Amino acid sequence: MFRRSIYKSPAELRAMQAAGAATAAALAEARRLIAPGVTPLELDAAAERVIRGLGGRPNFQLVPGYRHTLCVSVDDDVVHGIPGERAFRAGDIVSIDGGAEVDGWNGDAAFTLVLPDPSRPDVVAAREALSSVTERALWRGIAELASARHLNEVGAAIEDFVREQGGPADDPARRYGILTDYVGHGIGRTMHEEPPVFNYRVDRRGPAVKPGLVVAIEPMIVAGAIETFVRDDEWTVTTADGADAAHWEHSVAVHEHGIWVLTAEDGGAAGLRPFGVEPVPIA
C-alpha cells in the first residue's frame, strides 16, 4: 500500500503558511470576543467569518459528523466541546481549538483562557496556573523540536517540564495530570496525519526530526486524575473526577534553517524566547 511521506518539500512548507495564518487570525478573533455573557456559538460564527474572509474554510467542518468551526471546552471539559448557547460566566476556564484549510493545506491550534472573577480569586488563580503550565509545556515541547533528533524527545521534554511544576495551588500534594488518551499529530493535506506526537515519555524514538516535518503539538493537562469520559453528545471529552482542564496547541514546521510556528503570528518568537530558541522564517 502506498504511504505518503510525513516530510513536506520546501514548496509545500511555504504553501502551509497561509493555513497557519488563517488559523491564528481566527483564534485571535475568538480571544478578542470572549467575555462573560458571550456564547460559544458567537465565537464560532466569528471564527468562521475570519477563515472564509481569508480564502479558507474551517477544517473542523470537514470532520465527519462535526459542523462547527471551533471546539469550545469549559472547566472540566478537556477537548472537543461543541459550541452551544450557554453563555460564558465569570471565572470559567475555556479552551478554544480551531483550524483552517487554505488551498488544500491545514492549520490547527488551541489556547486556554480564564475569565476574570473578583469574587473567586482562589479559583481563578488555580485555573490561571493550570493554563500557564500547559502553555509553557507547549513551548517547552516546541523548543525541544528545534534540537531533537527524534520526535518523541518532544513528549519527554513536555512531561519533564510538567512534573517540575508540582500540583495545583490549592493542593500541592497533587500533581498535574497529562492526558495519555489524546495526543498531537502530523498535519498537512489533512488535519490529522501521521506521526503521533506524544505529550509524555514513551519507549520508542519516533521518526527523525528533519526538514519537512510538520506537527501539531498539543499538551492537554488536568488538575487531577487523567481518566476521562465522552459526554452523551459523543464529542466532548471530560475529566472523570470533575477536575479543571487546559489545552494549548500550535502547528510547527521544521525546515532547512530551523523551526517556524505556523499558527503563531510571530512565528513563535515570544513563546520560544524563554527557552533560548529563535524561530527562523520559511524561505
pLDDT band of residue 174 (cuts 50, 70, 90) is low
Rounded Cα gap, residues 134 and 72, in angstroms = 17
Q: Could you report the per-residue pLDDT of 239-261, keeping only the tens digit for each?
A: 999 999 999 999 999 999 999 99
Q: Longest C-alpha distance within the chain, in Å?
A: 59
Q: Give the cell for residue 263.
A: 499558527
Give me the pLDDT at residue 175, please.
81
> What is the residue whose three cell numbers read 483564534?
27
Average pLDDT across the chain, whole number: 95
CATH number for the region 10-275 comes to: 3.90.230.10
Instruction: Give me the mean pLDDT over the 4-12 stretch.
Output: 93
pLDDT of residue 3: 52
Among candidate residues 87, 116, 40, 106, the one with its CA nearest the CA of residue 249: 106
pLDDT at 173: 52
Please report, rounded to a whole number, the percentage of residues in the chain having pLDDT higher than 70. Answer: 95
Q: Mean of the pLDDT values across residues 103-113?
A: 98
Reported confidence tier of residue 97, pLDDT bands at 50, 70, 90: very high
Cross-strand partners of 59 = none
- Angle of CA points 126, 272, 172, to nearest 5°: 25
pLDDT of residue 119: 97
Show the cell assigned to 105: 493545506
Is the per-residue pLDDT at 262 higher than 80? yes
**Domains of the chain, residue spans:** 10-275
Segment 34-86, tens digit of pLDDT: 999 999 999 999 999 999 999 999 999 999 999 999 999 999 999 999 999 99
Grade residue 165 by pLDDT with cuts at 50, 70 and 90.
confident
Report how far residue 1's alpha carbon sits from residue 188's, in angstroms, rounded to the nearest whole number.
20
Query: CA 220, 145, 168, 132 torsion: positive or negative?
Result: negative
Nearest to 73 by CA among 193, 192, 239: 239
Does pTM surpass 0.75? yes
pLDDT digits (tens, 9 = 90+) for 179-192: 999 999 999 999 99
Is the pLDDT score of 172 beyond 80?
no
Q: What is the pLDDT of residues 206-241, one digit of tens each?
A: 999 999 999 999 999 999 999 999 999 999 999 999
